[in-house]
Amino acid sequence: MMIRTSRWSVVLHILSVILSSLHGCSARDTITMKSSVVDGQTLVSAENRFELGFFGPSRSSNVKRYVGIWYTSNPQTVVWVANRATPLSDKSGVLHIANGYLKLSDKKGKVYWCTEQQNKRSNITVKLNDTGNLILYDVDVDGLGIKLWQSFEHPTDTFLFGMKNDGNLVFTSWTSEDDPAPGNFIFKQDPQANRLLVTNKSIIYWRSWRESGKIFELVNLNITEDDTRVHKNERIVMNFTGDLQYWQLFRGMKDWSLTWWEPKDRCSKYNYCGTFGSCNINSKLPCKCLPGFKPKVSEQWNAGEFVDGCSRNSTSYGTDFLSLKRMKLEYPESSFIINNVKDCRQECLRNNQCQAYTVNASKTDRQLSCLTWIEELKSIQEDQDDGYDLYVRVPVSDIAPTSRSCLTCGTNLVPYPLSTGPNCGDPVYYSFDCDMDTGQLSFMTPGGNYTVTHVNPKESIFDIEMEAKEAVNCHAMHSSGSKILQLNRSSPFNVTSSCSSDFTNDSPLKSTIEVKITWKPPLEPTCNSSADCKEWPHSTCNITGTGQKRCLCNSAFRWDGLGLTCTPGATGQLRDSFNKSKTLPLYLIVSLPIAMALLCAILSIYLWRTKMVKKRAKQRKAHLHRYDTERGVKELMESSHLEGKDGTGIDVPFFDFESILAATDNFSDENKLGRGGFGPVYKGKFPGGQEIAIKRLASVSGQGLEEFKNEVVLIAKLQHRNLVRLLGYCIKGEEKILLYEYLPNKSLDSFIFDESLSQQLEWGTRFNIILGVARGLLYLHQDSRLRIIHRDLKTSNILLDEEMNPKISDFGLARMIQGKQTEGSTLRVVGTYGYMAPEYAIDGVFSVKSDVFSFGVVMLEIISGKKNMRFYYVENTPSLIAYQF
């Protein structure tokens, strides 16, 4: 019985198709109560402009059928979809009139879409007009039709002219190019301000600037379908990409032309750079905070996320205004008529909440309007042809921290020492020009003038734009950028390797590249009198060696070119004394050389006598008898001086054990700096404030008397700035102690393997560390009078001083080789696995190459920040070395 019913339903469906085709022959643009449209049939408007029927996305693998309206011209351009969220899964759909409404159903009777039901309607007709409007009529006996429903009041993603915009029309984009389901972007009228609005879900994506513009006028043009002004070949589409598009089909043309769209670029998006962030489409880095402002969230701003915007550097708004040219941002909601520009400025000053103002001159009655912003500034765009002068309220100290700082140029801060004229900045840096009409900053070079797009005072770097054909490519700028710009060696500016031409597609600068240029830290500020040095504490106006007056730092201070201030330091005192000597009286100038000669003579006599005393002491020690027995070893450990293999004494101070206990507070944990391979290391403080690092060798450390003696002998004879300096030693019973210079930054491994501390190691610092270790090794292998092989070079044995200079330490396993010998061998392989050369670890053969291998491992760890033996970044990679090769 169920089979028969199913067969009869199919037969009835076929009969309905045949009947609908017979009844539909009379009117190609109409559906009556006796006709319908099935998949494969269409309605065509009277003038053959629009067509209604079934369609399906061409790229979809699944069958999805929709009822829609499209232009009859090719390619198919759909302007309205009925069942956009509920597609049919086969071609059995029927569009027909039933029970007072128009509905779409399949062969089983399931309804996929329908209009509102109209009760007590006997003669309903559906007609497709030449405007693209599908209308449901109730036709009376006189042939007059009453509109019951129309598609123009229920649009999808397309605005067609003839639609009446009462402020409630909403257009929703497709999900994708082949999916008409409602997408994320919505186009509508802003309910609070009479502007057009595009939202991405609930977030504003784009908003028209003001209540004007062609698209605004077209959308709000009150016309009827019978009006001769109907724009039949124009449409506005809310595209699935988020673009609001205006399309036109010009007479005699077959293809539609995209003549307008918004947002045109990333800067056109609503508040793209956040509050108080200015957007420049011509720059690779589009957003920057206005002068006097800083990013609210620096981490996100540096990562290219600008939505949080900027905040003021100071909480006070100040009494000055930042003058910005050719700026564009949303107008405030209110304005008032003024007599002159000063009135607008005074009005903003009187209101503590006023953030900025501008003056707008009417083209018709020439009246001046004052517009003030009391809310945070949003959607700021710079360098706009239709922009206006904007005055933003900021404290003077936020845009000119010193009296020598130049005024801002547009949205660019010109920090000291950069100079745009002879009366500001440093004369050496007078290479910039500010166009006061446009607010554009330029960098002037012998090779030409270039637009400055961004200045970063903290990094001492700025960006310029160059024609790509000038630089050829970024590689050319890296290798010879200064030559291309014709910058000589004495120039304080230097082209870096950061050069980019990968502007986004929305940038008009297709043939330009962006070049980064750094500036060197300046010398002390120039001056004419001490009054000019008031802004630089601890400085005095004096003549330098070149005859120029500068604010030189006083005694015990040195000039910090990065911080632009005098900081405590010894070098300042020497230079200050030198410069002051230029103004010394004549009798002092004559007597100084004589005093220096006498001092040199006294020092020479003192050194000669000291040398003779040491020589006699060595001769006495050379005759001492040494025992190989246990008693002899004990006596040696308790002696106050060690001797080398040649029997000569080692010129290293001896410290008594009691003084070391006092300096380390009995080796307390508070003074413990860490633990090395042979024992703990403590920080000791001796009378007078001298700080020393004290290595206390453990009795079970494996470093016996020979290793201890070896380390003292070797370090005592080695003098190099990249080798740790031995200050003394101590032997008492089982205690063997070495005293080194104290290095506050501890060992290299504590920096590079720590997530927070490693951020302090910039590439320049890492390079200097690598270079310093290389110099130290070169000294050990070639330049010292003893050829030394360290045998245990690793990151934990590289110490860092206060200026991050590296010093090689821990010479307990080092070996000295004679003459031209370059290698040796041992049966006892000692050191740290992961840093050992294969020939040493396997066969016990060590050489200068062994240290070079260890240096290579250290260099990889410095660059990558990863430990060699704990590197699991790539699967099945046991070490950092294996990953590299």
Domain shared by 753 and 736, yes or no: no
- The number of domains in the chain is 5
Q: Which of 97-106, 151-160, 322-331 reaches the highest mean pLDDT? A: 151-160
Q: At what angle do helices 763-778 and 848-864 cross, to 10 degrees?
A: 170
* Percent of all residues in the chain with a pLDDT value above 90, rounded to a whole number: 28
Q: At which of 522, 545, 566 does a domain end?
A: 522
The confidence score (pLDDT) of residue 166 equals: 74
Instruction: Provide the residue count of the chain.
Output: 885
The confidence score (pLDDT) of residue 587 equals: 43
The vertex-391 CA angle with 390 and 395, nearest 5°, equals 150
Q: At which of 574, 609, 644 does a domain end?
A: 609
pLDDT at 608 over 90: no
Lowest average pLDDT, out of 144-158, 235-249, 520-534, 673-687, goes to 673-687
Lowest average pLDDT, out of 24-28, 173-177, 521-525, 657-661, goes to 24-28
Domain shared by 29 and 165, yes or no: yes
Task: Give the sheet arrangement for strand 179-189, strand by strand.
Answer: 170-176, 179-189, 196-200, 203-207
Q: At which of 555, 584, 609 does a domain end?
A: 609
pLDDT at 760 over 80: no
Lowest average pLDDT, out of 62-76, 411-425, 535-549, 584-598, goes to 584-598
Q: How confident is the model at residue 772 (pLDDT cuts 50, 70, 90)?
A: very high
179 tagged catalytic = no
The vertex-317 CA angle with 311 and 322, nearest 5°, equals 85
Lowest average pLDDT, out of 63-77, 442-456, 706-720, goes to 706-720
Domain shared by 228 and 83, yes or no: yes
Domain shared by 432 and 511, yes or no: yes
Find, among 741, 796, 766, 768, the residue nearest to 860 by Cα: 766
10 lies in some domain: no
Do 513 and 495 contact (CB within 8 A), yes or no?
no
376 lies in some domain: no
Find, among 162, 135, 161, the residue nearest to 149 by Cα: 135
Average pLDDT rounded to a whole number, residues 508-525: 80
Compute CA distances 224 → 161, 205, 229, whole Å.
9, 31, 9
Q: Indicate the pTM of the whole model.
A: 0.58
618-639 pLDDT, tens per residue? 554 443 333 232 333 233 333 3
pLDDT at 389 over 60: yes
368 lies in some domain: no
Domain shared by 101 and 41, yes or no: yes
Q: How confident is the model at residue 158 (pLDDT cuts 50, 70, 90)?
A: very high
Domain CATH for 720: 3.30.200.20
The confidence score (pLDDT) of residue 336 equals: 86
Tell me the residue range of the domain where 764 lies: 749-884
E strands, 509-650, are 512-519, 539-543, 549-553, 557-560, 565-568
9 lies in some domain: no
Higher pLDDT pick, 172 / 796: 172
- 29, 398, 463, 792: which is the annotated catalytic residue? 792
40 lies in some domain: yes
Q: At what angle do helices 705-716 and 630-638 cross, to 10 degrees?
A: 40
Domain shared by 543 and 497, yes or no: no
Domain shared by 417 and 444, yes or no: yes
The confidence score (pLDDT) of residue 696 equals: 86
Q: How far apart (Å, rounded) are the C-alpha atoms in residues 656 and 662?
A: 10
Rounded (10°) CA dihedral 610, 613, 619, 624? -110
Average pLDDT rounded to a whole number, residues 761-779: 90
The confidence score (pLDDT) of residue 75 equals: 85
Domain CATH for 120: 2.90.10.10
237: β partners: 158, 245
Domain shared by 780 and 862, yes or no: yes
Higher pLDDT pick, 124 / 5: 124
pLDDT at 269 over 90: yes
The confidence score (pLDDT) of residue 504 equals: 47
> Which single residue is written with the structure tokens 């007056």?
549
277 lies in some domain: no
Domain shared by 727 and 637, yes or no: yes
573 lies in some domain: yes
Q: Give the 3-state secondary structure of residue 144.
A: coil
Compute CA distances 816 → 116, 185, 759, 789, 796, whole Å.
100, 76, 38, 6, 22
Structure tokens at 882: 């294996």
Domain shared by 585 and 513, yes or no: no
Structure tokens at 877: 């990679």
839 lies in some domain: yes
808-852 pLDDT, tens per residue? 988 777 777 755 555 565 545 566 777 888 777 776 777 888 888
Domain shared by 240 and 154, yes or no: yes
Domain shared by 604 and 555, yes or no: yes
Q: How far apart (Å, rounded) are the C-alpha atoms in residues 469 and 318?
A: 46
